[in-house]
Every structure is written in C-alpha cells, then in structure tokens.
Amino acid sequence: MTDAFVPRRGLRHGHVMTIYAWARQRAFPALPPQDARLIRVTDDTQVLAHCYWQPDRASRPTVLVLHGLEGSSGVHYMLGVADKAWRRGWNAVLLNQRNCGGTEHLTPGLYHSGLTHDPREVIRSLTATDGLRDFGVVGYSLGGNLTLKLAGEAGADPTVAPWLRGVCAVSPTMDLARCVDALERRSNAVYQWNFMRNLKSRMRRKAAAWPGRYDTAPLAGMRTVRGFDDAYTAPHHGFAGASDYYHRASALRVVERIRVPALIVASDNDPFVPHEQFAAPEVTGNPHIRVLITRDGGHCGFLSVPAPDFDGYWAERTAVEFLAGIV
C-alpha cells in the first residue's frame, strides 16, 4: 500500500480540499488515444465507455472506473485513475453512466445511484468481445456506492464473478439517506446548488432529446437533490419515493456479501459523506473489506505533496496500487 496521506499545504480544511481538487486543471499527456466504445446494456439503451488499451489488451488486467453524480468519463479523477493504471500496464475503461458525458440520446431512461446492471453488462461485453479476463473496479462518490454494490452482488452473478478481482471505492455514498441528509446542511449549500444546476440542465436536455417523455415543469421550483429524486429518479425506476430509493440503492445493504478484496478510502472531513457509515457492522464484520479513513482529504480530493513521477493525487495512486497488489 502507499504511504499515509499528508495533505498539500493549505488544503487541510475539508471544503478547501474538495473545491480546490474539483476546480484544478490537470493534463494527462501519457494516455494514448481513447477508443470510444458504445456498449448495448438493454434493448433500448447504449452506454459510452472511453477506453485506453494496452497493445495486447487481452493479456492485461483492466480497471473499470465509475464516476460520481453528474460526472463523466472526462472528469479529472477518472482520467487520473486511467493515467496511473495505464502507466502500470493496465487497460482503463471509463464508463459514462446513462445520460452522462453527452449521451442523453443513447437511452430513453435515467441512471441512479444503485444501477449496477450497466457496469455488469460492460464487464460481460468486454470479456466476450475483447477477451478481457481480469477486472478491478474503482468508483468515486456515487460511483463508489455502485462499486461496492456491484461487488456485493457479483457473487450471485456467474457471468461477472469469475472476472472481478477486487474493488476500491473513494468517498463512497454507501448509505445514501445519510449522505443526502448531510448534503442538506446549510454549510453544504454550494454543493447542493452545483448538483442541482447540473441535474436541471441535464433533465432539460433529456426532455429535448426525447420529446413528450419528461415533464420539466417541476424543475423550476426544485432546490434539492432529494426533491429531484422524488420527482424523477424514484418514479422512473419504480421506487416508492426518494426514501425507498435511498434504502434499496445503498451499497450498505449488500456489502456484507462482498467476497473479493475491497478497499474503502474516505476522509473524516468530507463535507457530505459522513465517515460514521463506514463503522457499520456490515462493513467492519466483513474480512474482505479494508477501510482507510484519513484525517484530511475532503470529498474526492486527497491531494498530497507531489514527488518525482507522482502528481500528488493520493487516492488515485492508492486505488491503483491496491488493485495491482491483487491482480
């Protein structure tokens, strides 16, 4: 495993680390040209994955990377994990969840925090078409919830279990109700506003791409992620409401069933992912799960002091090194 996390000077405050890491520009010149792969996951839905292949891809392990709420394959941590994995000899597959990364036209539906069907189909497809055999999964925030839920469900899926070697979840929202409660604190208003700005814009693009399917009128008075989930996410996916959705889509319900090595990386100063959820008996009682909680790190930040051949993004390096120690 990597060294203990030491935050970069001036970034110890959770909000400062979170916002700085989100806004900071990065470049990844070592990555090869990407292969844009459309993968059919249902009869009416395709998802877009941006893939970075090694020359002999079938002989190499592959990391599948899952983004957070309103992210895409182009957000910095997705490319950061890809860069570190590719330089270690891995393939990297960055999945855009339904509607993300400009893919609203590829599906009539919406994504949600527990929709593990799609990454499972991606793994199945890549084993069949490209001969890939060894997968690790890394997920951030909402993608971290998906990652842990996928690992918990994989044991009952003989088409995925043989190929899934290990997972790492960074700042995962694995208890969705607890995280949404935290997001609604006054101190987190800027994050709520940003999520809602993006959710509303995407929903309007979705309605334009699929005329007559979605009513955008409720968006005008909507202020919270919970309100959005009550109006759109929950009913679209057959949940009774936001509370039912948060319960049923949370990885916390299935983490006790994880049977592959799993690492959770979190911070005790994350503004809206309370670290107390990682002390749940479902987590601590599973010997396959390791929990690594740092004193500082914010939400999906973890920016440390750089060194030769290390850009300072500690969680990305930790995730890749963890998986490399398994495969």
Residue positions annotated with a catalytic role: 141, 270, 299
Task: Give dist(CA 172, CA 7) in Å, integer.
Answer: 20
- Contact criterion met (CB below 8 Å) for 68 and 176: no
Question: What's the distance, Cα to Cα, between the start and end of the chain in Å?
Answer: 14
Task: Give dist(CA 140, CA 169) in Å, integer.
Answer: 6
Task: Give dist(CA 273, CA 292) in Å, integer.
Answer: 14
Q: How far is CA 214 from the centre of its chain?
A: 26
- Contact criterion met (CB below 8 Å) for 286 and 256: yes
Residue 213's Cβ-count burial label (10 Å; 0-12, 13-18, 19+) is: exposed
Nearest to 116 by CA among 241, 231, 257: 257
Nearest to 84 by CA among 181, 197, 186, 2: 2
What would the two tokens of residue 225 be? 């992620």
Task: Give dist(CA 113, CA 271) in Å, integer.
Answer: 19
